[in-house]
Every structure is written in C-alpha cells, then in structure tokens.
C-alpha cells in the first residue's frame, strides 16, 4: 500500500474508466476517501450496491465539494456544463482533471469555469474495453498502459507532479503532451480506427447477400475484432468525432488515399505492392507487442473485463 496522495478524490461519471480508477486507487491506497456521482439514479444505485466509491452523492457539486482532486469522467460533450456546475464548490488549491480522449475541445469547454486558485490539468488514460457502466471496472485496467497529461498554459508544476504520481500509483506509464498533438495522435491510434470499425460492421449489416445469421455464425477473427470495437459507448464516440473533427478528417483523408492505392494494386494484380505494404504494417504490430501494449494472445484483456 502507498501513502495517500490526495485526501479526497471525486469521480464525476461512474462508467468503466471511473470505476476502474476507484478500484485501482483503493488497491494502492492513494486516497483517504473517494466520492462519486453519476447522472442516472440507476447508476448511483448500482454503485452503492457494489461498493463503488466510499460515498455516492446525489449531485456533482456534492461529490466535488471539499475534494482535492475532481476527475470528470463524463462524455466530452458535457464536460463544460459539469465544470460550470461544480465550479462554485471547488476549494482553493484543488485540481480538476478529466479522462476525455479529445483534449483541445475539453480545454476550451472547461477553462472558462475554472475558479482562480484551482488547477486544471487535463489527462487521458489510454485504456478501455468495449464494456461500459459501473460494473465494468477492474483495478488492473491501467497496469502498464499510458496516461497522457496535457497541462494548460501556466499549470502549477507541483499539481502536475501530484497528478502524475496518482496515475503512476494506479499502474500507468505517464507522459506529457501538447493538446493539438494529442488530438492528432489519437485520431491515428483510436478515433479513425473506431470509425472504420463502425463502418465495416455497418457494411456487413447493409450487405443483404450475407444474412445476419451468417455474419454472426461465421465471423472470422478480423470481423470479430471490428465488432468488439464497434460495441463501444455510442454517446462517447459521437462526442469524440464531433469534437476532434479536424484531426479525424485529416486521418480519414489519408486512409482513403491508402485504400484507393490498395484497390488499384488488387485490380491490376500488383502483388509486390500488396506484399511490401503488408510487410511494413506487420512490423507495426510487432512493435506494439514488443512495447508491452498487447500480447500474442487473441483474447488479450477480455478475460478481466466483466461482461
């Protein structure tokens, strides 16, 4: 067990990311108390039943009041509204952070509501499963995953280092990154792949020559992985694409160019182009495994996630 880094942490929104944060914080003893709030009464009831958080509150302001760290674990489209709601009760010296996968939009939405004397340090843990809700969390989610901190101009270094210590205590590797660069990187590694997965599953649904039962019954590994990604939370991903529009469109444009080149190679029988392309992309997969961000096991990470 570690020494507590914060006396009180407030988690606003109680889905996979927040619930996993709570179990990881408790595993390492990183906070004396963790309060929680979710907009849905049913979610709050479930959280109380499973012992999620030390105290479940019935408003975001109640959860945030007196907290040393407040983490916004809500869809990026509502972070500004939540920040506005809790602003009057944030105590001087407190830190407000988030877990959103888009950073420039969140900074623009939240910054106007950060009171004088409160530190705002955006963050993004690069971890998740296709499951959502308070029961989906588990303490190991962040182990050896990356958490990106995106300090804003004038961020207090002591507050940044304290938040870094929390994420490292949770099990994550931590790096700092500029907001715009973050959004471009995530458009490549997460946002565009999700959109492509949604599209491929949608194509299968539209292709009536392949029946629904055949799509389900004969799913090969590639399509299964597409469906796993496409099962992610619709609200969250709608907000991600609308708030990281420019970077996502840039990457999709690049993707379209590459796709046309592959179409041309297939149509003209250019096997050398296909072989060279697949050899190059295969090396990316090996790099991910060598970096410890996945294993060769086909069911990596799924055994721990609760269905």
Which domains does the chain show, CATH number per domain?
6-177 (3.40.50.720), 181-268 (1.10.3660.10)
Can you give the pLDDT at residue 142? Answer: 96
Can you give the pLDDT at residue 175? Answer: 97
Residue of 227 and 98 predicted with greater confidence: 98
Residues 198-207 have pLDDT tens digits of 888 888 777 6
Can you give the pLDDT at residue 89? Answer: 98
Residue 13 CB neighbours (<10 A) = 24
Can you give the pLDDT at residue 194? Answer: 87
- On average, the pLDDT of the chain sits at 90
Strands 69-72 and 6-12: parallel
Residues 13-57 have pLDDT tens digits of 999 999 999 999 999 999 999 999 999 999 999 999 999 999 999
Residues 209-234 have pLDDT tens digits of 656 667 667 666 677 788 878 888 88
Angle between helices 234-243 and 192-206 (to 10 degrees): 120
Residues 136-190 have pLDDT tens digits of 999 999 999 999 999 999 899 999 999 999 999 999 999 999 999 999 999 998 8
Reported as a pLDDT band with limits 50, 70 and 90, residue 288 is: confident
Rounded Cα gap, residues 139 and 144, in angstroms:
12
DSSP 8-state symbol, 236: H
């Amino acid at each position: 067990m570690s020494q507590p880094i914060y006396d009180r942490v407030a988690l606003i929104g109680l889905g996979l990311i927040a619930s996993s944060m709570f179990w990881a914080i408790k595993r390492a003893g990183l906070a004396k108390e963790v309060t929680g709030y979710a907009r849905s009464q049913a979610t709050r009831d479930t959280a109380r039943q499973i012992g999620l958080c030390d105290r479940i509150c019935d408003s975001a302001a109640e959860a945030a009041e007196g907290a040393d760290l407040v983490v916004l674990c809500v869809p990026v489209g509502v972070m500004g509204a939540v920040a506005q709601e809790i602003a009057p009760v944030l105590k001087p010296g407190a830190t407000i952070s988030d877990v959103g996968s888009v950073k420039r939009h969140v900074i623009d939405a939240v910054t106007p509501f950060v009171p004088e004397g409160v530190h705002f340090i955006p963050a993004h843990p690069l971890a998740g499963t296709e499951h959502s809700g308070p029961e989906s969390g588990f303490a190991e989610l962040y182990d050896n995953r990356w958490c990106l901190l995106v300090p804003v101009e004038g961020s207090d270094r002591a507050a940044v280092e304290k938040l870094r210590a929390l994420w490292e205590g949770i099990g994550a590797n931590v790096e700092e990154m500029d907001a715009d660069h973050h959004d471009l990187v995530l458009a490549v590694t997460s946002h565009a792949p999700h959109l492509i997965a949604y599209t491929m599953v949608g194509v299968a649904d539209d292709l009536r020559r392949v029946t629904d039962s055949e799509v389900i019954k004969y799913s090969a590994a590639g399509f299964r992985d597409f469906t796993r990604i496409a099962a992610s939370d619709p609200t969250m991903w709608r907000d991600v694409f609308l708030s990281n529009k420019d970077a996502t469109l840039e990457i999709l444009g690049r993707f379209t160019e590459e796709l046309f080149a592959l179409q041309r190679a297939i149509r003209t029988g250019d096997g050398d182009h296909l072989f060279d392309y697949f050899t190059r992309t295969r090396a990316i997969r090996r790099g991910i495994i060598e970096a410890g961000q996945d294993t060769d096991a086909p069911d990596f990470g799924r055994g721990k996630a609760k269905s």
